[in-house]
Structure 1
Amino acid sequence: MAFGRSSSSGPSDRQGTPSADATAGGAAQAAASGPADPITLKILVAGGFGVGKTTFVGAVSEIRPLRTEEALTEAGRPVDDVSGVERKTTTTVAMDFGRITLREGLALYLFGTPGQDRFWFLWDELAQGALGAVVLADTRRLADSFAAVDFFERRGIPFAVAVNRFDGADRYPEGSVREALDLDPSVPMVECDARDRKSVKEVLVTVVEHAMTMATGAPEHAAT
């Protein structure tokens, strides 16, 4: 398992996106003001190619998820890095979209980002108005998560890391994964099964709670 990451590559850091603090602050105020119109929050699901983003969104969405997958072709081989996921035959070319109601009056819109380098330009648009994000990680290819971690750190978008438990993948102590990703101690990290609705929902609850805590300035519990 490689350690360390560099901010020299990844999605661009274009200015002009509303801050995550402003988005989360408005949501926190609305949640505290009592009964009102249903609150809808935007959550991004990011990570490297083949890490399970499409599966994650599909497992929990209460509507038929919107998917923009296209077949991988020989023409794309020179630019599409499929190392470690050679069996994957499709790739997301725009986004995945789903919706889940966490509780009465609170729904999440889930936007899965494309994982291939050539589609990183879309991340700026998808990040508009996001409350927070999930960075899915595969311990066999942690370096593929560096770009997503760097992107959300630079933009100040609250995020949690969810280690997707792939069948047959080695398990590592949380501290080792944190060190490899160079995570701030305040960033939550959890394990999940991207195929399991309950597991995915727990990840989303963690992200929302983390974002609300950052917005209100309340003391944060130690990451688990």
Structure 2
Amino acid sequence: MAYNDSDSAERLAAFSGGPREEDLLPSSAEQSVKVVVVGGFGVGKTTMVGSVSEIRPLTTEETMTQAGAGVDDLEGIERKTETTVAMDFGRITLNERLVLYLFGTPGQQRFWFLWNGVIEGALGAVVLVDTRRLEDSFQAMDRLEECGVPFVVAVNTFPDAPLHPAPELRNALDLPAGVPVVTCDARVFDSSREVLLTLLRHLYTRATEARAAEDPPPGQAPSSDSPAPAPGSPAPAPSPVAAPPHPSEAP
């Protein structure tokens, strides 16, 4: 899926009148969340951001050159002619209060040095997977784990890709039990939106569990591992474990 405009004059004309009314944030928006969409080369990251974005997505797609020859695996995506060289950007309003900003990472290995800047500040991530090339997703998941970014795995259903039960995929990808695995069609709005809702539910569950672990129920003594405060010292501040709004409120 390409969103490039080859005519720069048309692009300038489109922006000369300022932002379109449909591109403005609703005045009721209270919280925004940064989400990154990562995965191997040609797995559908640009397509997902474009299909679900309510604004015209910003893409940095350029024509592929020979620079990736011998490095990028084109098996199954031989007709791919463009590649993301920096990032993709889109936005989706899930309800009147919650907005997601979506950032897609480049897939070609020679652009992976840009990942740290794109991932920084993200609350969560979607790892897109192609079952024809599962190994291409390993480095993306490793990078997220190193950065401490929670993620869900979304299997993009290509027409000629083999289908596997979720337990088999979880085992093949060596995923922890708590990481959700879902299937999707990155070309379809509803399917991509459901992936994002799954991620928000996962983030909400993680934050709720972390808060419960740090704050014992009323009447329960704190863990003996915690040192007792010195007499006269101020009470400790509550732990800043932030939970995103519960995604069940989304229409």
Q: Which residue number in structure 2 is paired with residue 210 of structure 1?
A: 202
Q: Which of 104, 107, 120 is the aligned partner of 1:128?
A: 120
1:48 matched to 2:40? The reply is yes
Q: Secondary structure at the match of 1:66?
A: coil
Q: Tell me, which stretches of 5 or more residues in structure 1 are unaligned?
A: 1-35, 220-224
RMSD of equivalent CA atoms: 1.5
Q: Secondary structure at the match of 1:170?
A: coil
Tell whether the 8 Å contact from 2:29 to 2:96 is kept in structure 1 after alignment: no
Q: Which residue number in structure 2 is paired with residue 157 of structure 1?
A: 149
User: In structure 2, what residue type is equivalent to 1:201?
Assistant: R
TM-score (norm 1): 0.78
CA 175–58 in structure 1, closer or farther in 2 if over 3 Å, else same: same
1:195 matched to 2:187? The reply is yes
Structure 2 CA distance for aligned equivalents of residues 168 and 205 of structure 1: 27
Structure 2 CA distance for aligned equivalents of residues 39 and 139 of structure 1: 35
Deviations 1:186-214 (A, max 9, x none): 00010000011001000001111111221
Q: Which residue number in structure 2 is paired with residue 138 of structure 1?
A: 130
Sequence identity, in percent? 62
**Aligned-residue offset at 1:37:** 5.6
Tell whether the 8 Å contact from 1:81 to 1:116 is kept in structure 2 after alignment: no
Structure 1 CA distance for aligned equivalents of residues 68 and 149 of structure 2: 31
Structure scoring higher RCO (CA < 8 A, sep ≥ 6) equals: 1
Q: Secondary structure at the match of 1:160?
A: strand
Q: Tell me, which stretches of 5 or more residues in structure 2 are unaligned?
A: 1-27, 213-251
**Comparing both structures, which one devotes a greater share of its residues to strand?**
1
User: In structure 1, what residue type is equivalent to 2:46?
Assistant: T
TM-score (norm 2): 0.70
User: In structure 1, what residue type is equivalent to 2:38?
Assistant: A
Moved segments of 4+, more than 3 Å: 78-81
Kindly report which structure 2 residues correspond to 1:1-224, keeping only aligned pairs within 5 A, or say none. 38-217=30-209
Structure 2 CA distance for aligned equivalents of residues 116 and 75 of structure 1: 10
Q: Secondary structure at the match of 1:67?
A: coil
